[in-house]
Chain A
Amino acid sequence: MTAQMVGDFREELGEKPASHSVLVLDSGEMFKHWRRVSLSSDFLARYYSYYFPYKEKAKERISRDAAENSISYILNELIENTAKYSDARDKTVDIRVWLLQEEMVFKISNYVTPTLAESFRKLAREILAGNPEELYIRRLERNTETDGGDSGLGYLTLINDYGIGLSFKFATVQPDLFQVTVQARMKCKEG
């Protein structure tokens, strides 16, 4: 299996995680009942929020409420994309979460055809190449004029507003099948 990375995609965690979870879902089922996306994100967000301190005690780390809010937003954006853009026959969506000392790592994978993989790779390169804040504003202005799609804007909010480190892996499973993995790294400290 060959793979191409865009951004700082790390296969190794570099430390033993304090916690690790896997949730495997079906993109077709989520697309059919859209609230399943939100439900899955909220579940993992609440589950991991218990590793974070109450607001009064949150000095070194972000507070429990803030962690739950951010994790839910991040996962919801990433899972929404898999529910919208899984055009291969295999509809498996694989969601992995690791809690490390200083950060949380999320890896969300789904399957796509070569055509979609190519446009996705182009988008990933574009997002990670320039100034994400300028790109975000530029895309919004352009969308108002052309009424274009929202592609990439979700990723840009993660980078700009949540300080998330994003990277992408495109693995060729078969000549006509790609597995796309988006890796998101969230700092456990505020600021």
Chain B
Amino acid sequence: MELKGEDYLVNYNEPKNAVEFFGTIRLRDSSDYVAINELLETAHRKTSAVLVLDFRSLQFLNSAGINTISKFVITARKSDTARIRVLGNSSISWQQKSLKNLQKLWEKVQIEIA
């Protein structure tokens, strides 16, 4: 399952239990992020152990997108089924600066920025 925009690609890699993000995602508001949120929730439902969110190839994500990811993490925390592992790239500013906040929303979120 994948979502494709002019500047981005979000791919649910089911065998790997991973959602992979590519490009730049700067959609207008939360209503434009509904499809991405649905993809995340589907992936989470299908995963029993650990769902990987792989941001390493995502150059930019605006605050509306960060909010979408944050809300998804809160929803996952409430269901407390599959855990979440976040992969980031240390040379991309927004990842280095903002991904750590996800752990403040749910301490079980595992964050690896390399």
Q: Which residues of A approach B to under 8 Å, CB–CB? A: 34-35, 37-38, 65-66, 69-70, 72-73, 76-77, 80, 84, 136-137, 140-141, 143-144, 149-150, 153-154, 157, 160-162
Contacts and interface: CB of A to CB of B under 8 A. Distances in A.
A5 to B, nearest CB: 24
Given A35-B7, A161-B97, A161-B98, A140 B26 contact: no
Interface stretch (B11-19, B38-46, B47-55, B58-66): B58-66
Given A73-B94, A144-B75, A150-B30, A137 B104 contact: yes
Contacts, number: 72
Identify whether the interface residues of A are mostly helix, strand, loop, or mixed.
Answer: helix
B60 A72 contact: yes
B81 interface: no
Given A38-B24, A69-B93, A154 B63 contact: yes
Contacts of A80: 26, 28, 62, 64
Interface of B: 6-7, 24, 26-30, 60, 62-64, 66-67, 70-71, 74-75, 91-94, 97-98, 101, 104-105
Nearest to B59: A69
Given A136-B101, A153-B63, A84 B28 contact: yes
Contacts of B91: 65
B62 A161 contact: no
A137 B105 contact: yes
Contacts of A150: 29-30, 63-64, 67
12 contacts: A35-B26, A70-B93, A76-B60, A77-B63, A84-B29, A140-B67, A140-B74, A140-B105, A150-B63, A157-B63, A157-B66, A157-B98
A154 B62 contact: yes
Please indicate which of the listed interface residues A77, A84, A137, A140 has the most CB atoms of chain B within 10 Å of its own CB.
A140
B74 A69 contact: no
B93 A73 contact: yes
B85 to A, nearest CB: 20
Contacts of A136: 101
A157 B62 CA distance: 10
B66 A73 contact: no
Contacts of B75: 144
